[in-house]
Amino acid sequence: MAEKLLEVNQVKKYFTIQSGFLQRTIGFNKAVDNVSFYINRGETFGIVGESGCGKSTTGKMITRLYEPTEGQILFEGNDISHLSQKELRKFRREIQMVFQDPYASLNPRKRIGILLEEPYKIHNIYSEKERRGKVEELLEIVGLNADHYDRYPHEFSGGQRQRIGIARALTLRPKLIVADEPVSALDVSIQSQILNLMKKLQKDFHLTYIFISHDLSVVKHISDRIGVMYLGKMVEIAEKKDLYQDPLHPYTQSLLSAVPVPNPKVKKERIILQGDVPSAVNPPKGCVFHTRCPKVMAQCKQEVPTLQEYKPKHYVACHLYS
Ligand code: SF4
């Protein structure tokens, strides 16, 4: 039986909106609103949705770059939701993040080897001499060369920089990596190289991934199970095959209708949603998708649907299935 590595229980992240000289709170941006899911050890859990749906904020709460406003995040059964920076130290080694733009987080004046050695120095691991060897080894593991140690960030291509981002996440041998749009800024040919590298590293280092992306094709390539988010809510969770063959939520159905199919003989009806995504500051009452849903009913405008297991391991938050 699969073992849960991470559990996210009814987590919320509300950002306060302040105004005026006294910075009075005038509202909240409900970036993530009551989201629950779990991740099994060794799997890749994809989180997909449009920009502003709360997927990156969810990732940042799991890595504790953000503290949840409410709810609980359990990592190997330990509640990490509200730990102090000092208490988090142990977990920081075990949960790492890969960002969309690794260049933004690399100090341009430092050589790559020195940057990659930093986690070892912070956590006081290995002697100075050993560190260099470990970093050179790591560079080779991610498909770079040991002599790249002395180069500066600007000397690398986009794909190479993402390999450096992955190497940095790997330095402390984490158990969980949260990858936030790791290939979105790369050409399609480079994207598949990075995805294949991530898959190989997952096997070699027994990693568990949370893979966040707006791109359904990319998420499909790498994920075992997928969660779909819309306006701060998790609206559907299923195993990859089930989600792509039998999407239940009208929002997932519309997203998938836009993905091109490889077989030109297969005709797909495109579901085009009306209107824009509403603001997370003032989300619609009831089902947050009701203002755009082609199947909206009277009940949807009043009652919030909860995520329920409709079929084995296939969860959906929609009144059509309750
Ligand atoms: Fe559409 Fe209603 Fe289902 Fe929301 S609950 S997705 S509005 S049918």
Please write the tens of the pLDDT for every residue from 35-45: 999 999 999 99
Between the CA of 44 and the centroid of ligand 1 the distance, in Å, is: 28
| Tens-binned pLDDT, residue by residue, of the chain (322 aa) | 789 999 999 999 999 999 988 899 999 999 999 999 999 999 999 999 999 999 999 999 999 999 999 999 999 999 999 999 889 988 989 999 999 987 787 889 999 999 999 999 998 999 988 999 999 999 999 999 999 999 999 999 999 999 999 999 999 999 999 999 999 999 999 999 999 999 999 999 999 999 999 999 999 999 999 999 999 999 999 999 999 999 999 999 999 998 877 777 777 789 989 888 999 999 999 999 999 999 999 999 999 999 999 999 999 999 999 8
In a domain, 70, yes or no: yes
Q: Is the CB of 295 under 6 A from ligand 1?
A: yes
| Whether residue 293 has its Cβ less than 6 Å from ligand 1 | yes
> Which residue's alpha carbon is at the smallest distance from atom 6 of ligand 1?
318
Is 271 a member of any domain?
Answer: no
Longest pairwise C-alpha distance within the chain = 68
318 occurs within a structural domain:
no
8 A C-beta contact, residue 80 and residue 88: yes
What pTM value is reported for the model?
0.95
Alpha-carbon Rg for the chain, nearest whole angstrom, is 21
CATH number assigned to the domain comprising residue 227: 3.40.50.300
Cα separation, 110 vs 215, in Å, equals: 33
Give the pair of three-digit tokens for residue 50: 């449009």
Helix (H, G, I), strand (E, B) or coil at 94: helix
Is residue 299, in this structure, part of any structural domain at all? no
In the chain, how many domains are there? 1
CA distance 40 to 142: 24
**44-48/24-40 β-pairing:** unpaired
The domain containing residue 12 runs over which residues?
4-94+174-239
Distance 302 CA to ligand 1 centre (A): 11
Q: Is 252 within a domain? A: no
Residue 290 CA: which ligand 1 atom is closest?
7
In a domain, 61, yes or no: yes
Specify the ligand 1 atom closest to the Cα of 287. Answer: 4
318 CB under 6 A from ligand 1? yes
Would residue 311 count as lying in a domain?
Answer: no
Nearest CA to ligand 1 atom 7: 290
Q: What is the pLDDT of residue 34?
A: 97
Residue 20 lies in a domain: yes
How many Å apart are CA 130 and CA 226, to the nearest integer?
A: 40
Cβ(300) – ligand 1 distance below 6 Å: yes
